Amino acid sequence: MKKIQFNKNLATINEKTSVISGFKMIISLVMIIGFAFSVKAQKTWDLTKCINYALENNIDLNQKYNQIEIQQFNLLESKANL
């Protein structure tokens, strides 16, 4: 009687481990596919594109351009007041 119960418990454990192994396999497959799509979605940048992006998004440089524009408007305004 104990041998039969032991065999049933062993069969139950084997079924649970096979379900867990299958679940791990599915999760791994989904992760690999997701990674493959994310890598493909990335864009490659050449040096020119990187430099242009840096110049367009440089805060200090944009502030200097704004100061130049303000000074040009101030110059025009002072000339107009003469």
- Tell me the pLDDT of the chain (82 aa) as tens digits: 445 555 555 556 556 666 667 777 788 777 777 777 665 556 788 999 999 999 889 999 999 999 999 999 999 999 998 7
Residue corresponding to tokens 């069969």: 11
What's the one-letter identity of residue 72?
Q
**Upper half-sphere CA count for residue 42 (Cβ side, 13 Å):** 7
The residue extents of the domains of the chain are 1-42, 43-82
3-state secondary structure 24-72: HHHHHHHHHHHHHHHHHHCCCCCHHHHHHHHHHCCHHHHHHHHHHHHHH
